[in-house]
Amino acid sequence: MQKVWLVLVCLVGLGFSTSAGAAEDRFASADLNHDSLMNKEEFQKAFPEITAEAFQMIDTNKDQVIDRTEWQNFRGGHQGMMQENKRPLIEAPAK
């Protein structure tokens, strides 16, 4: 669970928007050869701070590429996690 949150925090920190349209735009911009797949090289160029382990986690069928379905599933799962956890990452000091 900590790995998933780490990936989420890193992607949000890189300007990874929570809207579906922005996610598709991010996928399209990362797909440098326009084959509707994101390979490891494209992923690393789009998200240089994210580890290869994150790529493997998103690539659920283990075919060494992330397709749009895997990307959308990853995004959908993280949106649900964000909605479930309403506690802020940094809490205000108690008065």
Would you kindly state where each structural domain of the chain is located, as residue ranges?
Answer: 2-75
Q: Taking the domain 2-75, which CATH number applies? A: 1.10.238.10
pLDDT in tens, 52-83: 899 999 999 999 999 999 999 988 876 544 44
DSSP-assigned beta bridge partners for residue 37: 67
Its pTM surpasses 0.75: no
pLDDT in tens, 7-35: 555 554 444 444 556 667 889 999 999 99
Q: Is 84 exposed, middle or buried (0-12, 13-18, 19+ CB in 10 A)?
A: exposed
Q: Is the dihedral of CA 77, 81, 82, 84 positive or negative?
A: positive
In angstroms, rounded to a whole number, what is the distance separating the alpha carbons of residues 88 and 75? 20
87: confidence class by pLDDT, cuts 50, 70, 90: very low
State the Rg of the chain over Cα. 14
